[in-house]
Amino acid sequence: MILSYLDGQYLPLDEARVSPMDRGFLFGDGAYEVIPVYSGHPFRLAEHLARLEKTLAELRLPNPHSVAEWAEIVARIVAGNEWEDQSVYLQVTRGADAVRKHAFPATIRPTVFLMSEKLATPTPEQIERGVAVVSAEDYRWLRCDLKTISLLANCLLRQKAVDAGCAETVLFRDGILTEGAASNILVVRGGVLLAPPKNRLMLPGITYDVILELAAQNAVPFEVRDIREDEVRAADELWMTSSTKEVLPVTTLDGKPVGDGRPGALARRMHALYQDFKNTVMRRG
Q: Which of residues 17-36 bind ligand PDD (CB under 6 A)?
A: 34
Q: Which of 188, 200, 194 is nearest to 225 (CA)?
A: 194
Stretch of 96-104, 109-117, 198-206, 259-267 contacting ligand PDD, by CB under 6 A: 198-206
Question: Active-site residue 256, yes or no?
Answer: no
179 binds ligand PDD (CB under 6 A): yes
Among 90, 127, 131, 203, the residue binding ligand PDD under the rule CB under 6 A is 203
Site string for ligand PDD, 121-160 (x = CB under 6 A): ---------------------------------x------
Distances (CA, A) of 241 to 10, 196, 229, 267: 31, 13, 18, 11
Residue with Cβ nearer ligand PDD (29 or 179): 179
Stretch of 118-126, 130-138, 199-207, 276-284 contacting ligand PDD, by CB under 6 A: 199-207
Stretch of 116-124, 126-134, 175-183, 257-265 contacting ligand PDD, by CB under 6 A: 175-183
**Surface-to-core class of residue 104, CB atoms within 10 Å of its CB (0-12 exposed, 13-18 middle, 19+ buried):** middle
**What are the catalytic residues?**
147
User: Which residues contact ligand PDD by CB under 6 A?
Assistant: 34, 154, 179, 182-184, 203, 205-208, 241-244
